[in-house]
Structure 1
Amino acid sequence: MEEQTVQTKEIMEVCLLAGKIMLQSGGETYRVEDTMTRMAAAFGIENTHSYVTPTGIIFSAEGTGPTRTKLIRISERSTDLEKVALVNSISRGISNGDINLKQAFEQLNEINSMDLAFPLMIQVAAASLASGCFMIMFNGGWNDFIPAMVSGGVGYLSFVSFHRFVSVKFFSEFLASFVIGLLSFLFVKLGVGQQLDKIIIGSVMTLVPGLLVTNAIRDLMAGHLVAGLSKGAEAFLTAFAIGAGIAFVVSFL
């Protein structure tokens, strides 16, 4: 009985680690719950219950011994879909019988400690190019392509830099959008840019919470109302911060 209890605890640890990685990396709530349930079932625990929100996971397993329940807190969230894909591949390997409990725990710990993000300069370059392309997509002129690239790249770099010193994401997004609005205004004022609105719209697109909005809608459609509304509220705050930063520049300059 004691050995079975220990095994149930280890299975729960593996499932919770997988769920934690996915939730911290931008995975949908229903995907996290489904992955944890499938992994537990593959290891022999059929009766499991999970309750996942953007800030925490509650997981309960009914094995041969007493029911065990554990709660873990999710304090940091980012976007790293490669980690989500890696955890999904481990889950499939467990379901197929190719990965045992020990191997799964080791591989998940390795994924959890990985830093799969691109170098900062590559991220800034991608944000710059995306900003210029978004500006063109919103019917902007080619004369504003370079100003949009510079504003978007500097704005994204500002967001990353501010977020290292300010833990509250709202203020980092507000300051980054303020920088974008200020640079866009200066480009137009100096005659380098022409359409202020198009430059600003293209530049702020790298800060727009697209994944949050998508996940919020998918969670709501899947019936996860609390998680869907929470992510929707987070997306609204981000959009408000971006709009407030731009409005501050436009109002006072």
Structure 2
Amino acid sequence: MINHLDRTNQIVEVCLLAGKIMLQNGAETYRVEDTMMRIAASFGIRESHSYVTPTGIIFSIDGTGPTKLIRIAERSTDLQKVIIVNSISRKISSGELSLKEAYDMLKEVETNRLAYPLWVQVAAAAIASGCFAIIFQGSWSDFLPALISGGGGFYCLDFVHRLVKIKFFAEFLASFIAGILAMCFVAIGLGHDLDKIIIGSVMPLVPGIPITNAVRDLMAGHLVAGLSKGAEAFLTAFAIGTGIALIFSIY
């Protein structure tokens, strides 16, 4: 038999695991807090409190157990996992899942790698870069240089980030490599507008989701998380701009 305290601790573990998966994969802060409290309420815990920042989650239940903290060290973007956790949360709310079933499903989501293979991501980034070059009024002669430069820069981002766990450095090198490739294509006559090629090639590196999440968190009243994510997005933009500025100073 599971006593009340053990069950409460298990509920807290399920809530923290759901919040951890969502926060690590690009969910907004207010969505993480709302999901955790809904899961707790579905299992009979009406009074729960959560405090979420981009680097940690604090969760407690009034008067029934200790406050627990999870540190978030690695963050990426995998919205498929966020969708799956939301789906599990809805099933919990409707009473379709037991506590153990929910925990096992969340553990499976945490360990599974649902992201597309690297070559698919690089191909998508390359095609997007070429299309962005055209959207920003580049000529069709700039499509292929932007495609190759954008793909090369995105691959460099993944490769460097695996070696050095400093996001700023990886983004700086990625934009620098993309700019070098763009400059080489223009120098040998395969591209026409260097600025359009560079703009297209760095678009896959732009922190779109962090900017969106920062604005949504600020509008939801989560000032600390919103400002933190905004600062993270600013650093990414600064890294990209620094790499490109170095290219233009050389050119």
Residue 23 of structure 1: aligned partner: 23
Residue 12 of structure 1: aligned partner: 12
Counterpart AA for 1:158: C
SS of aligned partner of 2:205: coil
SS of aligned partner of 1:60: strand
Kept in 1, the 8 Å contact 2:53–2:225? The answer is yes
Once the 2 structures are TM-superposed, how far is the Cα of residue 67 of structure 1 from its aligned partner? 3.9
Residue 187 of structure 1: aligned partner: 185
Residue 82 of structure 2: aligned partner: 84
Question: After superposition, what is the alpha-carbon deviation per residue over 1:118-169, rounded to whole angstroms, capped at 9, x for unaligned?
Answer: 1111111100000011111111111100000000000100111011111100
SS of aligned partner of 1:145: helix
Residue 39 of structure 1: aligned partner: 39
Cα distance in 2 for partners of 1:229, 1:118 equals 30
Which stretch has the larger CA shift, 87-96 or 116-125?
116-125
Cα distance in 1 for partners of 2:222, 2:64 equals 28
Question: After superposition, what is the alpha-carbon deviation per residue over 1:8-41, rounded to whole angstroms, capped at 9, x for unaligned?
Answer: 1000000000000000000000000000000000
Counterpart AA for 2:232: E
SS of aligned partner of 1:52: strand
Which stretch has the larger CA shift, 32-41 or 65-74?
65-74
2:100 to 99, 102, 106: 102
Residue 243 of structure 2: aligned partner: 245
Alignment of 1:53-202 (within 5 A): 53-62=53-62, 66-202=64-200
TM-score of the superposition, structure 2-length normalised?
Answer: 0.98
Cα distance in 2 for partners of 1:225, 1:186 equals 44
Once the 2 structures are TM-superposed, how far is the Cα of residue 3 of structure 1 from its aligned partner? 1.0
Cα distance in 2 for partners of 1:239, 1:80 equals 20
Question: After superposition, what is the alpha-carbon deviation per residue over 1:60-116, rounded to whole angstroms, capped at 9, x for unaligned?
Answer: 112xx6343101100000000000000000000000000110000000000000101
Identity of aligned residues (%): 65
SS of aligned partner of 1:191: coil
Cα distance in 1 for partners of 2:206, 2:190 equals 25
Cα distance in 1 for partners of 2:117, 2:33 equals 31
Counterpart AA for 2:150: G
Counterpart AA for 1:33: E
Counterpart AA for 2:9: K
Cα distance in 2 for partners of 1:10, 1:148 equals 51
Cα distance in 1 for partners of 2:82, 2:45 equals 23
How large is the RMSD of aligned CA atoms in angstroms? Answer: 0.9
Kept in 1, the 8 Å contact 2:150–2:178? The answer is yes
Cα distance in 1 for partners of 2:69, 2:103 equals 18
Once the 2 structures are TM-superposed, how far is the Cα of residue 117 of structure 1 from its aligned partner? 1.0
Aligned residues: 250
1:222 to 220, 223, 235: 220
Cα distance in 2 for partners of 1:98, 1:136 equals 49
Gaps of 5+ in 1: none
Cα distance in 2 for partners of 1:240, 1:106 equals 41
Gaps of 5+ in 2: none
